[in-house]
Amino acid sequence: MKVTSIFEQKRVFSFEVFPPKPTTPIAQIYETLNALQDLQPDFISVTYGAGGSTPGASTAEICETLQKKHGINSIAHLPCINETKESVLAKLQDFRARGVENILALRGDRNPDLEPKTDFKYAADLVEFIRENGDFDICGACYPEGHPEAKSLAEDVRHLKEKVDAGVSHLISQLFFNNQDFYRFLEMTDAAGIKIPIEAGIMPITNKKSIERMVSLCGASIPPRLAKLMARYSDDAQSLKAAGLEYAIEQIIDLLEHGVSGVHIYTMNNADVARYITESVRECVKI
């Protein structure tokens, strides 16, 4: 099913997972999918080479399993920075053969050890290419605080409009910790003429190391209240996790009460965390 049609019916609640590294037993991701199934997300997106990782199972393979075995819609992430037109065509053919209908078209993170290929400079180039070469539902990434390489948030939103015009039908945001940043971003995108659904990306804080790594990778800012929580529980991993989960739940409830189109949880393949958050949010808000 094309996931964009779900936004016409309801507020969307979705998850992100990543393919395990070759050193992790492949069965682990399938256990995670089993555990996520009864939470009935509207879709699960599957990353591709995020943070320069080499996966042990392919994104397309996991998407196919999600759909055929678990009956869950999937979105395959597809970064283009290290691809040629020929290699993207082969991937589109693989998606088609496996019944994958939804693609998150990305430029991808720069890998210092790899010279980027030249066929696709920006995600918008990939969006146009996919549009010309198949009947896929295409999503894009967006950045409530601006993409780290953009000169300003305003400039980033201008480029985002070009990407949407190239054929994107829904957007998923980078993680953020201050909902006010997201609401300001929604006002800016609306004023720029971007009228497609924008899902809010939320990453629950479960440990200090992982959040420091994510924040340094994506440049999300830490609001004072969260910084205080992190400082208070810096030597108490269990309390930090509990406080981090409560923070994420509050963030999500506030977003849903403000009428956002959807919420996308970066699960980090932790089904217990996804379950705790989903069940807690559902006690308060219908999703």
**Which residues contact ligand FAD by CB under 6 A?**
47-50, 77, 79, 106-109, 122-124, 141, 147, 149-150, 156, 159, 162-163, 172, 174, 201
Shortest Å, Cβ 84 to ligand FAD: 16
φ/ψ of 70, rounded to 5, equals -105, -10
What's the min distance (Å) between Cβ of 110 and ligand FAD? 7
Asked about 16 being catalytic, the answer comes back as yes
Distance in Å, CB of 153 to ligand FAD, minimum: 9
Q: What is the dihedral of CA 224, 186, 173, 249, to 10 degrees?
A: 50
Cβ neighbours around 45 below 10 Å, total: 28
In this structure, how many other beta carbons lie within 10 angstroms of the beta carbon of residue 257? 10
How would DSSP label each residue in 260-282? -SEEEEE-TT-HHHHHHHHHHHH
In 3D, which of 32, 44, 21 has the Cα closest to residue 172? 44
Which residue number, 108 or 197, has a Cβ lying nearer to ligand FAD?
108
Catalytic residue among 8, 16, 145, 246: 16
Residue 192 phi/psi, 5° resolution? -85, 0
Q: Measured from the CB atom, is 22 or 225 closer to ligand FAD? A: 22
d(CA 181, CA 162): 22
| Rounded least distance, CB 145 to ligand FAD, Å | 11
Residues tagged active-site = 16
